[in-house]
Structure formats: C-alpha cells, structure tokens
Structure 1
C-alpha cells in the first residue's frame, strides 16, 4: 500500500502551497541579500561590481589570447558569465537548499518547496542586478544597433533558465540531503562544466584560430549548459538563435521536471528526517 505522503497529489500540493506562501519566500529571499551586504555602503550593488570586474578581466584576457575585438568579445563574455552564475548557483546552492534550511524545515510548518522558491527568487534578484552590466555595454558598444524583434526571445529564454533552476534545486536538493557525497561531486562537476562551456571562449573564435577544425569545435554541442547560454546570449547580441538549442533545452527541462516531481513524490516526507 502506497503511503498518502508518497503520491503525486501530495507532491503537486506541496508545489501549490509553496507558491501560495509567496509572501514568506519573497521576504526571506530579499532578506538573504540584505543580510549578506549588511552595513555595506553599496549594498547589493556589490553583486554587479564583482560580476562586472570578473567579466572585464576575462574579456580583456581572452580577447587578446584569441585575437578578438574587445567590442565584440566583452559583451559575449559578460552575458555568458551572467547566465553561468545562475546555472552554477542552481547546481551548487540547489544541492544545499534543504540542508542549509534545516532549522526552518524542522520548526516552520511550511511546504518544502518554499525553500526552493526562496532560492530561485534570490538568484533572480542577483540576475537582475547583473543585468545592469549588459545595459551599460548596450550603450558603450552600441549593441542596440544590432538588435531587432528577436531580442524578445530573451523573455522565454530566461523563463526556461529559471524553470530549470527550480527542478535542479528540487532534485539535487533531495538527493544531496540523503547522500551527502553528492554535493562535493556536483562541485567538481560544475567546475568541469565551466571549463567545457563556452563562457570565456567562443566556438567561432576556436574555428577561426585553428582553421578547418570546425568538427572539433562542434564537440561543445554535447555540453548541455552550452545550449542554455546560447538561447539567452544570442538574442541579447542580435544574433540568430538556432532552433536546436531551444529543442535541446526544452527536452532537458521536461525530463528534469519529471525527475524532480518523482523525487518530490517519493521522498518529500523524508527530507525533514534526513536534514
């Protein structure tokens, strides 16, 4: 006999209840940022400054190494880094989302998904702060001249990005709470993905530099995070967004949510005991 706590009905109910408790996770997510930069003069804008300096350093270095114009390469690297920060946080913070909220889970009568919503909301606020860097580059390098109606594709792209952040936090959070070795494994995997994903380098620059080796450059297609970068970065740079990137991201999103709902159905009630 299947326990009532291990049904799809209870899993979806948890997601709905967590969404209805939005005043709680909206407040907690904002407090997380305020607490991190408490007594700081610039406050949350240190997020923007830190990301901007990192993007500037990477852009200057790799534009020189790959012999690329800084006016093209710096926006490319900056957008890639902004998107990567969301992906990285979804994996690393997502795997720790329930462990980090042990006290609240045991003492506060709320849906388990509240902690996931809180994490994703906090990362969305980080994303908005970092988006200010893109607006600056838009003016400095006149990127706006290359933009057309396709720039609106960034809206569904960002939506997909954060939908994936949610299922990653649910699935990885549950499994990492049960098996504590998963978190350090994910840390190593994220570092490897950062190297393999064209955040600091571009496939076009690689093809131009090695000449006639485009087949090797296309190997990056097997790295799933590459496709997430492309659906966001291409519209913001005024470049065409290939359909295959959207299809691959859509398939991963569907499979990921199936895994997340199954994990929530089967193990939701056990998380308070595991933490």
Structure 2
C-alpha cells in the first residue's frame, strides 16, 4: 500500500502550514506545501491524492486556480478540502461544481479531525480499483447529489452536456455512463448515437436517467436499447443496489 500524498496549497508557507505539514507527515501521510499558482500545482497534481487549500486571511480565492482545480478534480479520485473562516470557504466553494469540494474545515483548524477525515477517505490503491461512472446531465445540482451518493464506492466524473462528455471520454475512460434522457441542445438519444458511432466509446454501457415514467416515455427510452434506465426519483440505497448488481454481473 503506497503512502497517501497530500498537497497543502497556500499563498505562503506560514508557520501554521508548516505545522500542518509536520503533523500530517507524523501521521503517515506524504505531505508537502505548494504555493497557489496554476503552474506549480499542475506540476505536482498527478501524484497527489488530496489537496488542502489553506486560507489564512491573507490568501484570497484565486479564480484561475479554482477553475483549474475544478476541471482536474471533477472525476472524484482526489479529495479537495478547504480550510479557513466559514465566510472564506463558503465564498471559495462557489467557484466549484457541486461535489468537487469534499469537505470544509473552519479555522482554528482541529488537525486531529482533519487527519481522521483523510484516513477515512481510504488509500489510493483501493481508489485505483474502483469503477468509473460518468454522469451526464445539464442540472449541476442533481449531478452533485448523485456524485455525493456514489463517490464512496466509485470514481465519479461529471459532464453538463453531451459534447463535454464526448470531450472527457477522449482523454479518459468510463465503466458506465449515467445519461440524462432529456437535455437541451444535444439530447440523451443523440449523445447515445454519438457514443455508439465511435469505436472507442461504442461498448461503454449506458443507463438513461429520466424524469418521466408514463408508458409512452418508457417505451421511447427502451426502444433505444440502453443497458438500463433509471427514474430520477430513485433513492440512494436503490441506486447503489442497482449499480452494485450491474457491476457484479458485468
């Protein structure tokens, strides 16, 4: 089992950040400081399992850094933790899609609580073995809810349009796609057709997500022969049960 790598992002390596790095290191983590610039973060992000953005009253929310992290942490295989005054972390969290920020801790930081949280998140080896699910839906709030339900058991990525999903799949792979049936611009059926027309994505299983359960709508969904379809009113436990059964049989 390899060591969990934790990046602490901040404006400068203050005494409090140095203390945090030491406590994390003493607890068995590979912890290091990285100043809050996109280039510096980018150079080290690939080998990092968790990012702690430490706001100390001097550090302010940097939209470019937030946008970069929002893009690169959206697949759910790395944790993003915000530390700061409640008003600071609330403001910074607004720059991220629902579900990207794993947790927020207020200052003064209770380091033991943070360490306990990181330990519960699991080790990177177990994360690597998780199946990847791509959620495609134009409603970011709904995607965020589903992602929060699934992220303990699966790697989860999100795309808010069919074109964004196709772009994501050009550089990543998924074991299952949860696809909104009724999306503007490019509908779910159109996205499914695009996926099936490309050799690289043709074999990826697709579950349609639909908010309608009348007979005509259900027949329309089934006629496209997705792997399955789910009503958007599905509850968390039922969703996890359906997905677990699917992957056991796959």
TM-score by length of 1: 0.26
TM-score by length of 2: 0.28
Q: Which has the higher helix share?
A: 1
Higher relative CO (Cα under 8 Å, sequence separation at least 6) belongs to 1
Q: Which has the higher strand share?
A: 2
